[in-house]
Structure 1
Amino acid sequence: MPFATIDGQSLHYVDQGCGPTVLLAGSYLWDQAMWAPQIAALSQHYRVIALDLWGHGESGPLPKGMTSLDDQARQVLALLDHLDIDCVTLVGLSVGGMWGVRLALSAPQRLNGLVLMDTYAGVEPEPTRQYYFSLFKQIEDSGIISPQLLDIVVPIFFRPGIDPQSALYQSFRVKLAALPPERLRESIVPMGRITFGRDDLLPRLGELDPETTLLMCGDQDKPRPPSETKEMAELIGCPYLLVPEAGHISNLENPEFVTEALLKFLADRHQRSI
């Protein structure tokens, strides 16, 4: 499995297919496997790279001194340098979009397209931030995500109507329950605080190129509701799509819709760049 040493830690990624490069950046508490349907389809035409956040999947712990999503964006640029990749289309879902915006603003020459999914560039609303931080404190104190907390955390990621006995729902729950205390305390909880304590980038969204940007959001996303996507799309001046019958992890709840939309966006971007 490919790894790169960045800021003293081992960052894991998958690298599949050939052609123009697409970088898939996923959600907090998920690893690169969340992109399996998109990797399978996109890698028929593109070089697809999908990475694990620090402390997630096969990646090492959060690097010492990492304090912000700007650090995450810088680290991903270091990964692209390590791979000798000049330019990518970045598809960022949830926290992947939060640091993806920072990468786009700090190094616009490295992107030929940006897709932001189920994400928000503004600050976390204060009631929600305090609530999430209280959950992090419980996890930090106990060293586990207890069954009671799993009942709270797992449904956040899915549409309300999902079958809680479905393989998608249950596999995510089992994976969270198995996270070891050291990983939770050293990486998962600190990464959560970084994510939900982020600063406000809404005033800078107008700097993004509306011609090369697309927003998507599950039509039943609870933590990042469609209203946030519409707000950002207006600030950027770009189009947005609502993913039918999908919650926060919209690419897994309606993979066909999301994959088709990404293939169309990528084909359009590639034709324009020829």
Structure 2
Amino acid sequence: MARMTELPLVLLHAFPLDARMWNAVREPLASHLRVITPDQRGLGRSPLPESDREPSLEDAARDVLALLDRLELDRVVLGGCSMGGYLAMAVLRLAPERVGGLVLIDTKATPDTPEAAQSRLDVAKRVDDEGVHGWLADANLPNLLADSTREERPDVVGNVREIIESQPPAGISWTALALRTRPDSLDLLRESGVPALVVVGEEDPITPLAAANEMVEALDGATLVVLPGAGHLTPLEDPAGVVEAILSWYPATHEK
């Protein structure tokens, strides 16, 4: 039975995926907590609003706040994997009073390096020119999944490939451009004062253990969980480990 006194958990997905990446953890978590897994703007089933503004995670964060308003949720525990973690920090920056806790999965608090920012520009241009089919999944899979996952678990590889190849090109392009301008969030985490869980795959090449430790050091009293044999997409590679980490951590301080 769900413990209704606890704050709901909102989980924000990674790039270039959508909320289906949470499928394996959603039901086990939902038997204990209220779980909300939205698609982010331009990805999955979420439309990309027409706008003349430069792509920015701040606008995506406002989408999350608008969702909380529609659901009449004053405060939530906000979680995210990779880009979802960046977006969770963007929400925390805009409206700290709405965030009762953080679950940061395979993510980091530092901004893009110049090389990474250029790579995102290149991705946006290629998607605009060619779409996503035939290259985007192949370009991302080696970094998203651990070697053992790619070699021994074709079901996970196929699932990730299917999700990536179904994304709207315009949403991929917008998001890539938004990610490259995100600010450093380490000071934000230092000042947040909220309970936090940091989860990282032991074989994550994109946001490795060093990046997780950096966030743990910035957060007061954060819990760190390292999942062996997993890469950058722990909710897909080790869903049981992610569920156990979240449920073991979810503290009484989240009660309304």
Give structure 1 stretches of 5+ with no counterpart.
1-16
Could you tell me which of 168, 181, 202 is aligned with 1:197? 181
| TM-superposition CA deviations, 1:22-81 (whole Å, max 9, x none) | 111111121111111221011112211110012222111244236311221122111111
Give structure 2 stretches of 5+ with no counterpart.
none
- Pair 70,257 (structure 1): closer, same or farther in 2 beyond 3 Å: same
Measure, in 2, the Cα distance between the counterparts of 1:30 and 1:231. 25
One-letter amino acid matched to 2:213 = K
User: What SS is found at the alignment partner of 2:150?
Assistant: coil
**Kept after mapping to 2: 8 A contact 1:139/1:145:** no
**Kept after mapping to 2: 8 A contact 1:18/1:43:** no
Task: Provide TM-score, normalisation by structure 2.
Answer: 0.89
User: What SS is found at the alignment partner of 2:123?
Assistant: helix
Paired residues in the alignment total: 250
Q: Does 1:231 align with 2:214?
A: yes
**Partner residue in 2 for 1:131:** 119
Question: Which protein, 1 or 2, shows the higher relative CO under an 8 Å CA cutoff with sep ≥ 6?
Answer: 2
Aligned runs of 1:142-181 on 2, under 5 Å? Answer: 142-147=130-135, 149-164=136-151, 166-179=154-167
User: What SS is found at the alignment partner of 2:148?
Assistant: coil
State the shift of 1:115 in Å: 0.9
Aligned alpha-carbon RMSD (Å): 2.1
State the shift of 1:151 in Å: 2.4
**Partner residue in 2 for 1:8:** none
State the shift of 1:98 in Å: 0.6
Task: Provide TM-score, normalisation by structure 1.
Answer: 0.83
User: What SS is found at the alignment partner of 1:24?
Assistant: strand
**Partner residue in 1 for 2:55:** 67
**Partner residue in 1 for 2:197:** 214
One-letter amino acid matched to 1:52 = D
Q: Does 1:48 align with 2:59?
A: no
Q: Which has the higher strand share?
A: 1
- Pair 63,246 (structure 1): closer, same or farther in 2 beyond 3 Å: farther
Measure, in 2, the Cα distance between the counterparts of 1:101 and 1:178. 27
Measure, in 2, the Cα distance between the counterparts of 1:178 and 1:241. 31
Q: Does 1:89 align with 2:72?
A: no
